[in-house]
Amino acid sequence: MEFKHKKKYGQNFLNNRDEILNKIIEVSDISDNDEILEIGPGQGALTSLLVEKVKK
């Protein structure tokens, strides 16, 4: 599915996406026993990293 992003809607984009996502995971201090509810992640870039770190 192709997304058409529009700056007029306040959408902003990361040039260094992988670096930022890994930093979010690092500072979130989650463990493998935590249960995470993620809302509104867009295309799921953060979700795929969270799935590797937590139980549910």
Say if 17 falls within a structural domain: yes
Say if 2 falls within a structural domain: no
Write the CB contacts of 38 (distance below 8 Å, at least 6 apart in sequence): 46, 47, 50
- Of the pLDDT bands very low, low, confident and very high (cuts 50, 70, 90), residue 41 is low
What does the pLDDT read at residue 32? 85
Say if 41 falls within a structural domain: yes
Write the CB contacts of 3 (distance below 8 Å, at least 6 apart in sequence): 43
Q: Which domain holds residue 18?
A: 7-53
Say whether 14 counts as a known binding-site residue. Answer: yes
- What's the rounded Cα separation, in Å, for the pair 23 and 20? 5
What does the pLDDT read at residue 53? 83
Say whether 22 counts as a known binding-site residue. Answer: no
Say whether 40 counts as a known binding-site residue. Answer: yes
| Domain count across the chain | 1
What does the pLDDT read at residue 27? 93
Q: Give the predicted TM-score (pTM) of the model.
A: 0.61
The H or E element spanning position 54 is: none
| Tens digits of residue pLDDT in 2-39 | 777 777 887 767 778 889 989 988 998 888 888 888 88
Question: Roughly what angle, to the nearest 10 degrees, separates helices 17-28 and 45-53?
Answer: 40
Say if 24 falls within a structural domain: yes
What does the pLDDT read at residue 56? 63
Say if 39 falls within a structural domain: yes
Say if 15 falls within a structural domain: yes
